Amino acid sequence: MTEPTVVVAAALQESGRLLAARRSAPPELAGRWELPGGKVEPGEDPERALVRELREELGIGAELVERVPGEWPLKPGYVLRVWTARRLSGRPRPLEDHDELRWLGPDEIWSVDWLDQDVPAVRAVLAALAPR
Ligand code: CDP
């Protein structure tokens, strides 16, 4: 059995807001919102892959804080893993794959149409971010 391809995504947080990105492609996903990220390349470290994706897709430098517990199935052969992350440099812009970015406050998290597979991931992010 071949290992699934890992898709990595970031929960970027700032002033209590979470960054959501609206996909512009492919057509069946366009208009839906996701945690920004992308595929890990063969042989690539997943955490490095996520930092690379954030640079390519949003034009920011970022560091990962911690892995959000869990793993979510995407299409067959793909799984989603999520890290909380902090922006170090740059202002996020939708450079690739997205046509809008939004910082969602606590009351706005469910105001966007998340990709189905991102819904459980976002729930896990909120649980991980909740004050302990
Ligand atoms: O940028 P790259 O081509 O590496 O990957 P992508 O096209 O952004 O994402 C790969 C797959 O993961 C796509 O099918 C996305 O829909 C999916 N994905 C997702 O379901 N949720 C995310 N938060 C990020 C990606």
Query: Does the beta carbon of 80 lie inside 6 Å of ligand 1?
Result: yes
Domain 5-129: assigned CATH number: 3.90.79.10
Q: How far is CA 115 from CA 23, 89, 112, 122, in A?
A: 9, 27, 9, 10
Per-residue pLDDT of the chain (132 residues; tens, 9 = 90+): 688 999 999 999 999 999 999 999 999 999 999 999 999 999 999 999 999 999 999 999 999 999 999 999 999 999 999 999 999 999 999 999 999 999 999 999 999 999 999 999 999 999 998 766
- CA–CA dist 77, 95 (Å, integer): 27
Which residues are bridge partners to 64 per DSSP? 85
- CA–CA dist 112, 82 (Å, integer): 19
Pocket residue to mutate for ligand 1, from 7, 99, 116, most atoms within 8 A of Cβ = 7
- Check: pTM over 0.90? Answer yes or no: yes
Query: Does the beta carbon of 74 lie inside 6 Å of ligand 1?
Result: yes
Specify the pLDDT at position 1.
Answer: 64
Which residues are bridge partners to 79 per DSSP? 6, 73
Enter the DSSP assignment of 41: P
Residue 19 and residue 112 in contact, taking contact as beta carbons nearer than 8 Å: no
Q: What is the ipTM of this complex?
A: 0.91
Atom from ligand 1 closest to the CA of residue 121: 23
Domain regions of the chain by residue span: 5-129
Specify the pLDDT at position 64.
Answer: 98
In 3-state terms the chain splits into helix, strand, coil percentages (rounded to 5) of 20, 40, 35
Using a CB cutoff of 8 Å and minimum separation of 24, what contacts does 51-57 make? 53/8, 53/10, 54/10, 54/12, 54/85, 56/95, 56/96, 57/21, 57/94, 57/95, 57/96, 57/97, 57/98
